[in-house]
A and B are shown apart, each in its own frame.
Chain A
């Protein structure tokens, strides 16, 4: 036998359930649609392939990436990890090392806006905006 109070409680529980379901669906869809997720995926492959390609280049090379706001990446021993600042699961690209290289600056964490990847002889260097500015300052102070 159902009482009047029972049915109103039931309605509240059902409404709460629908609300939770709607919130979960919103977050899942938002995560899929998000441009950041797309850009992360793109950036990690772009940077990884660039590093692999630099190993082939017979001469010296410098590549500059701009407008990398909100992208945080790390270079590890044989992988590169990209993630947005507000996300936890990084996207990973495994590149292939050449032992002859004074390999990339490991654990290089990038959170700036401009990135330079420089290849000189058997050395590949990743330089972020701050480093570029500080090296320019050092050069200008030497001249001064």
Chain B
């Protein structure tokens, strides 16, 4: 096989000339794309809104914690019998992106974690790029076997962005 050294030299020379040109074209194309897309970038941030809606489920839904008597639901009154792991896991089947810690504070503090894999990560809430966290206190009445007590329902929520 005969190799034409002269043509090999020309190919390498052409490549060296073209390489910076290609880089310059790629950079210009990138800048043009960036300048056009930057002002029309559409982004919906609904994490906090979603968390607000999900938190309210615990207080307002009869399936979660809301007290129900004679077909009437009492939003704001919590049925203490409903504050257990099994019931809360049923009414709030957290997907892999959401973790919740519920604290029902009366004379004692009862805690239920939903999705342990994420509730262990509350310490990382400072990382706003990857997590959205919310912490809200509901001042509630607690129906404890027909006896009404006052209490605080603290809901901590963490969501992967």
Residues of A at the B interface (CB closer than 8 Å) are: 21, 25, 28-29, 32-33, 37-38, 41-42, 45, 49, 52-53, 55-56, 58, 78-79, 94, 96-101, 122
Contact = CB atoms under 8 A, between A and B. Distances in A.
Contact of B91 (A32, A37, A94, A98): A98
Interface of B: 25, 29, 32-33, 36-37, 40-42, 44, 46, 49-50, 53-54, 56-57, 60-64, 66, 73, 75, 89-95, 97-98
Contacts of A101: 63
Contact of B44 (A45, A56, A58): A45
6 contacts: A32-B40, A52-B54, A58-B61, A96-B54, A99-B91, A100-B91
A136 to B, nearest CB: 31
A21 B22 CA distance: 11
A49 B62 CA distance: 19
Given A28-B33, A29-B37, A98 B92 contact: yes
Contacts of B57: 52, 55-56, 96, 98
B76 to A, nearest CB: 12
Given A29-B33, A98-B61, A99-B89, 8 more contacts: A38-B42, A49-B50, A52-B53, A58-B75, A98-B93, A99-B93, A100-B90, A122-B63
B53 A100 contact: no
B95 A56 contact: no
Contact of A41 (B44, B53, B95): B44
The 5 closest A-B pairs by CB, nearest first: A97-B93, A99-B90, A100-B63, A58-B73, A94-B95
Nearest to A38: B42
Contact of A25 (B32, B64, B89): B32
Given A29-B33, A32-B37, A100-B90, A53 B63 contact: no
Given A25-B32, A42-B44, A52-B50, A96 B94 contact: yes
B42 A49 contact: no
